[in-house]
């Protein structure tokens, strides 16, 4: 019976043949993480779309919701929590405001600043969407045993820690 080779393994075999002078083992991890990220994004966005949201809109609503009552943040703070530019944030906020999911008002603290807040409809939507999102993530992670998932989380956190500066809560 022939050995099963996934996409990354086939690429590695070809490089081993063409460039035996190079160690292509890193491709096994990096290539698979890259491909897995694409598959996971596809699976996650299905849930967002089911709730009428794109990935960016979901991120904004989730950031506001997890801020706690009164469920508001400054646009710049939102951009930092969702890792997008302020220009991209403005487009997301325009759509969410148009759909009645957020409001924008002048800041009481900074006369030039604005505050973005979840509306009751926005809170209801993100609560439903996040519940479905967590069920979806559970479904995706259930391909691993609980021990495997814990070990993978530990390893990924360790690796990611080498790239990111720890932030206080």
Q: What is the pTM of this model?
A: 0.86
In 3D space, the residue among 136, 140, 139, 143 whose CA is nearest the CA of residue 47 turns out to be 136
C-alpha 167/C-alpha 11 separation (Å) is 38
CB burial readout 105-128, b (16+ within 10 A) else e? eeeeeeeeeebbbbbeebbebbee
C-alpha 77/C-alpha 80 separation (Å) is 5
pLDDT for residue 18? 96
Percent of the chain topping pLDDT 70: 96
In the Cβ-directed half-sphere of 120, how many Cα atoms lie within 13 Å?
Answer: 0
- 111 has a pLDDT exceeding 70: no
**pLDDT classification of 152: cutoffs 50, 70, 90:** very high
pLDDT for residue 62? 96
pLDDT for residue 89? 84
| Peptide linkage before 70 cis (omega within 30 of 0) | yes
**pLDDT classification of 140: cutoffs 50, 70, 90:** very high
- 1 has a pLDDT exceeding 70: no
| pLDDT: which is higher, 82 or 23 | 23
Percent of the chain topping pLDDT 90: 75
Work out the mean pLDDT of the chain and round it to a whole number: 91
Please, what are the domains in the chain?
1-22+30-142 (1.10.10.10)
Q: Lowest mean pLDDT of 32-36, 79-83, 131-135, name the range.
A: 79-83
């Amino acid at each position: 019976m022939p050995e099963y080779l996934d996409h990354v393994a086939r690429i590695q075999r070809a490089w081993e043949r063409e460039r035996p002078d190079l160690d292509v083992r890193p491709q096994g991890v990096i290539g698979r993480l890259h491909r897995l990220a694409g598959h996971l994004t596809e699976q996650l966005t299905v849930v967002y779309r089911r709730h009428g949201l794109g990935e960016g809109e979901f991120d904004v609503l989730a950031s506001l919701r997890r801020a706690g009552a009164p469920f508001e943040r400054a646009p710049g703070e939102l951009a930092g929590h969702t890792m997008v530019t302020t220009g991209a944030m403005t487009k997301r906020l325009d759509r969410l405001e148009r759909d009645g999911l957020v409001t924008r008002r002048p800041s009481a603290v900074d006369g030039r600043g604005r505050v973005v807040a979840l509306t009751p409809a926005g809170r209801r939507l993100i609560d439903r969407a996040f519940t479905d999102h967590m069920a979806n993530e559970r479904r995706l992670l259930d391909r691993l045993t609980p021990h495997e998932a814990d070990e993978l989380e530990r390893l990924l956190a360790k690796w990611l820690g080498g790239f990111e500066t720890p932030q206080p809560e």
